[in-house]
Chains A and B, each alone.
Chain A
C-alpha cells in the first residue's frame, strides 16, 4: 500500500546526511566532550561547530545557545528558569491561550505555586491581538511567552510587535519557535526575543534534542544540576551525536528553507482549496496566505469526528492528526481550537495535515481523491448530518 506521511508537525524523518553524521559520532568519534584527550577534544570541537550552526540559523551568537533534550525541556527551562531567577521582582506571567502544553502546563504549575498567570486570548484565526499584550502587562510581570507559530492551525504570531511592547516594559520575552525555525526566517534580533525554544526533530533532525536561545545578559536558573556542561546552565553529558545531527539539520534547513517554503505553500493551498471544493460544510481553521505556516493545513469537517477520520485515512496509508476530544488522551478537544471560538462539535471534526520535504503533488491528489469518500461514509453514519440535512 502506498504510504503518505502528512504529520510533519508531529515529527519528521531524519535526513540521510544527518543520520550519517549521527552514526559517526556514535560509533567512531564517541568521545565525551568534557574529556581532555583527543577523543574528547574531537567531540568538543564538533559540538561547538554544531552550536555555531544552530546559532546562525536564528541570528544568535553561539554562546547564547544551550542544548537541551528537546523543545519541552527548553520551554520548561525558559519559564521555570526565569521564575527561579526573578523571584524577588515579583510573580506575574503572561502566556497566550494557544501555547504548546509544554508552556501552558509549566505556567499553570507556577500558578499553583503562587505565581499569577494571565492568558492572552486569540482571535478567530488563532492570532494574539496586540492590544491585549499591553493591557496584560503589569509592573510585576516577569515573563511573557508567546509561540512563533501555532503547531495545530499554523497561525504565525506578530512576534516582532509583541517583542517591542514587552521590551519597552522590561519583562523577559520567551518564544517557542519549534514550528518555525527552519521553515520560515527566524532572527532573534529582528524579533526582539530574549529566549527562544527550538527542536531538532521537527526539521529532519533527531528526536531528543533541542535548544534554548538565551540572550546575553538574561538571567535564568538551571533545571539540572550536577555538572559543568553548557556553562553550568544544563548539567549532564551532552547528547553529542544528537546535537551534531541537530547542527547539520540546521545547516541544511538554512540552505533549503526558501525553496522548500515555496513548494510547500503551493501544496498546502492545493490541499486546502481541494478539500473546500470537494467537501461541503468544511471550515478552514487558522489564517490564510502568509500568516499561515507553509506546511499547515487544518480544517473542521462538520458532522464527523476526527479519530474516525484518522482511522479511515490510516487504513489508506495516509497519516494525519486531529484536535478531536476522542484523540486527545484527556478527552478534551484541542485548547487551541476552543480558544479560537470553535464549538466542541466543530473542534471534534478537525483534521490537520502537516506537509514536509518529501510530499508531492501526487500525494495531495491521493488525499483529495479519497477524503471525500471517507467523509461521506462517516456522515452517512452520523446522527448530526441527517439533522442538518433535514433543516436545509
Chain B
C-alpha cells in the first residue's frame, strides 16, 4: 500500500524530536482522523537552520513529516513556503488516495511554524 520511500521514512524518520526554545512551532490536528503533528524550526536570517518534528499518526503522517523536514532544512523561508501537500506527496513517490490528507498536515504544520516565527519576531 505504501511506496518504498514512505516505508523508508516511516522506519527511519529524519529529524524526529523537539527544539528547546524554537524560533517557531507549528501544530496541526487532522480534522479527518484526529492525528496531531508538531514542527519546530530555528531560523537564521531567512534560512531554516534546524527543523524537528513530532507526530501522532499513521505511517503516511510520520513519513510526510519526516520528508518535509528533509525538504526544507537549509532552505530559505520562501522555498519552505512553496512546499505544498502535493510536493510532499510527490517527494514520497506518491501516497494512497486515502492518505493524501496526511500530507496536508505536514505542509500545514510547516507553514504554521514559519508563521509562528514571523509572529514572534514582529512582536520583538
Binding stretch for chain A, among B27-35, B80-88, B111-119 = B27-35
1/0 per position for B27-69, CB-CB distance to A under 8 A?
1000011111110000000000000001111110110000000
B58 touches A382 (CB 8 A): no
Given A307-B58, A326-B57, A329-B98: A383 and B34 interface contact (C-beta under 8 Å): no
CA distance A379 to B54 in the complex (A): 9
A381: nearest residue on chain B (CB-CB)? B16
Closest to A330 in B: B98
Q: Is the CB of A381 within 8 A of B33?
A: no
8 A Cβ contacts from A286-320 to B: 303-305, 307-308, 311, 315
The answer for the CA separation of A315 and B33 in the assembled complex, in Å, is 24
Cα A307 to Cα B56 in complex, Å, equals 11
Chain B contacts for A326, CB-based, 8 A: 33, 35, 57-58, 61
User: A327 at the A/B interface (Cβ < 8 Å)?
Assistant: yes
Asked if B11 lies at the interface with its beta carbon under 8 angstroms from chain A, I say: yes
Contact indicator B34/A380 (Cβ below 8 Å)? no
Cross-chain contact of A307 among B7, B16, B27, B59 (Cβ < 8 A) = B59
Q: Does B70 count as interface, using CB distance less than 8 angstroms?
A: no
Q: Please pick, from B10, B34, B38, B59, the residue contacting A333 in the complex, using a CB distance under 8 A.
A: B34
- Among A303, A307, A382, max chain B CB count under 10 A is at A307
Interface residues on A, range: 20 to 34
Q: Is A384 an interface residue (CB 8 A)?
A: yes
Q: How far is the CB of A198 from chain B (nearest CB, A)?
A: 31
CA distance A326 to B33 in the complex (A): 6
**Shortest Cβ distance from A329 into B: residue:** B98
Contacts of A348 in B (CB 8 A): 33-35, 56
Closest residue on chain A to residue B31 by CB atoms:
A331
Asked if A45 is at the interface (CB within 8 A of a chain B CB), the reply is: no
A181 interface residue, CB < 8 Å from B?
no
Q: B74 contacts which chain A residues (CB < 8 A)? A: none
A384:B32 contact, CB within 8 angstroms: no
Of B18, B27, B34, B58, the contact of A308 (CB 8 Å cutoff)? B58
Instruction: Provide the residues of chain B in CB contact with A345, threshold 8 Å.
Output: 34
CA distance A305 to B98 in the complex (A): 16
Verify B10–A311 contact, CB threshold 8 A.
yes
Q: Does the CB pair A382–B33 fall under 8 Å?
A: no
In Å, the complex CA distance between A241 and B47 comes to 68
In the complex, A279 Cα to B35 Cα: how many Å? 22
**A344 located at the interface, meaning its Cβ lies under 8 Å from any Cβ of chain B in the complex:** yes
CA of A333 to CA of B32, assembled, Å: 10
Q: Is A351 an interface residue (CB 8 A)?
A: no
Question: Do A383 and B54 touch (CB < 8 A)?
Answer: yes
- List the B side residues contacting A333 at CB < 8 Å: 33-34
B13 an interface residue at 8 Å Cβ cutoff?
A: yes
Q: Which residue of A308, A311, A331 contacts B33 across the interface (Cβ within 8 Å)? A: A331
A101 within 8 A of B: no
* Interface core residue of B2, B7, B62 (most chain A CB under 10 Å): B62
Which of A308, A325, A326, A333 has most chain B Cβ within 10 Å? A326
- Asked if A324 is at the interface (CB within 8 A of a chain B CB), the reply is yes
Say whether, besides A380-B16, A381-B13, A383-B27, A308 and B32 are in contact (CB < 8 Å): no
Query: With contacts A311-B10, A329-B98 known, is A382 near B59, CB below 8 A?
Result: no
- Closest Cβ of chain A to B12, distance in Å, is 11
In the complex the two chains form, is B98's CB within 8 Å of A383's CB? no
Q: Cβ of B38 and Cβ of A383 under 8 Å apart? A: yes
B98 close to A381 (CB less than 8 A): no
A392, chain B: closest CB distance, angstroms: 17
Is the CB–CB distance between A308 and B62 below 8 Å? yes
Measured between beta carbons, the chain B residues less than 8 angstroms from A303 are: 56
Q: Does the CB pair B59–A311 fall under 8 Å?
A: yes
Instruction: Name the residue on B nearest A348 (C-beta).
Output: B34
Known: A329-B98, A331-B98, A383-B37. 19 other contacts (CB 8 A): A304-B56, A307-B59, A308-B57, A311-B2, A326-B33, A326-B35, A326-B57, A333-B33, A333-B34, A344-B34, A348-B56, A380-B16, A381-B13, A383-B36, A383-B55, A383-B56, A384-B36, A384-B56, A386-B54
Give the 9 A-B CB pairs with smallest separation, nearest first. A326-B58, A325-B33, A307-B58, A383-B54, A382-B56, A383-B38, A344-B34, A331-B33, A311-B59
Which A residues contact B (CB, under 8 angstroms)? 303-305, 307-308, 311, 315, 324-327, 329, 331, 333, 344-345, 348, 380-384, 386
5 A–B contacts from the bound complex (CB under 8 Å): A304-B56, A305-B57, A311-B59, A324-B33, A333-B33
